[in-house]
Structure 1
Amino acid sequence: MVAEATVDCYNDSECVTGFYTMLEDHLAVPFQTSVLGVDVTVAKVDLTTDDTIVAVCRRGWSLQRIPILDLPLPTPPPDGAEWVEAYRHWV
């Protein structure tokens, strides 16, 4: 999976973009999880200007961006969660 996400990448920034693309394509959103004991909906994944892949979490009208590697995944995990683990392995 790492090789698939990073094919034709020449630096770390391009690799992060490759993983972001795989997460955007394969991670089934929205899904529910709990962050610090609060139930949230992961609405989408996003890529910040400093090359951090984040989960955009929603609760009511509030939004919070959480680095995808810090996001606790629910049990069972959503489809495509294996890409989070592949990214974790690469990092």
Structure 2
Amino acid sequence: MLVSRCAQPEPISIGSWFSSWPGMENAAHWFAEPRRCGPLEEVLATMKAKKAMKFAAKCLDRLEEATTDAYSESEQAGGFFAMIEENLSLPFTTQVLGLAVTVARVDITSRDQIVALCVHGKSTQAIPILDLPRPDPPPEGAEWIAAYRRWCGN
């Protein structure tokens, strides 16, 4: 068996290979090693902090919008109810005490408490929207519930 021993070519970097082409002198940066942002935990923590700041800003905007021209707590709760009723995508499903329930509509009690009317089979139960577990993924308009929670101090 004859083994040919050829001279091995010298390794060449991609950047220098491209720079040998006319007009491609600055192409080396396309193939440079990617920059590292830091340890993954730090990057994720920064991303979470930015997301939390955006969420807080959105909540503050929602708080202001719902309570505009409302002078008493009753009027403010009514403003939140109107915004939740108008913007929350219904029906949606969530878990209550391990059972899948459908939130059919929202209502406000005589004590200005916003409740979700939950249906399971033939049973219907009004559950305070502050006590309702957050569904995953949240329905469209759920940011109004988050703003209401913040307004209530939850």
TM class, shorter-length = over 0.9
Q: How far, CA to CA, are the matches of 1:6 and 1:74 in structure 2?
A: 25
- Decide which structure has greater helix share: 2
Secondary structure class of the residue paired with 1:24: helix
1:69 maps onto 2:130 in alignment: yes
Q: How far, CA to CA, are the matches of 2:81 and 2:110 in structure 1?
A: 13
Q: How far, CA to CA, are the matches of 1:75 and 1:69 in structure 2?
A: 16
State the superposition RMSD in angstroms. Answer: 0.5
So what's the TM-score if we normalise by structure 2?
A: 0.58
- Decide which structure has greater strand share: 1
Deviation at 1:48, TM superposition (A): 0.6
Deviation at 1:61, TM superposition (A): 1.2
Q: How far, CA to CA, are the matches of 2:130 and 2:120 in structure 1?
A: 20
Q: Which runs of 5+ in 2 are unaligned?
A: 1-61
Counterpart position of 1:36? 97
Q: How far, CA to CA, are the matches of 2:98 and 2:84 in structure 1?
A: 25
Amino acid at match of 2:147: A
Amino acid at match of 1:47: I
So what's the TM-score if we normalise by structure 1?
A: 0.98
Residues 2-45 of structure 1: CA distance to partner in whole angstroms, max 9, x if unpaired?
Answer: 01000000100000000000000000010010001011000000
Counterpart position of 2:79? 18
Q: Report the identity percentage.
A: 57
Deviation at 1:88, TM superposition (A): 0.7
1:50 maps onto 2:111 in alignment: yes
Higher relative contact order (CA 8 A, sep 6+): 1
Task: Give the ranges of 4+ consecutive aligned residues of structure 1 lying more than 2 Å apart after TM superposition.
Answer: none
Deviation at 1:49, TM superposition (A): 0.8
- Largest Rg, 1 or 2: 2
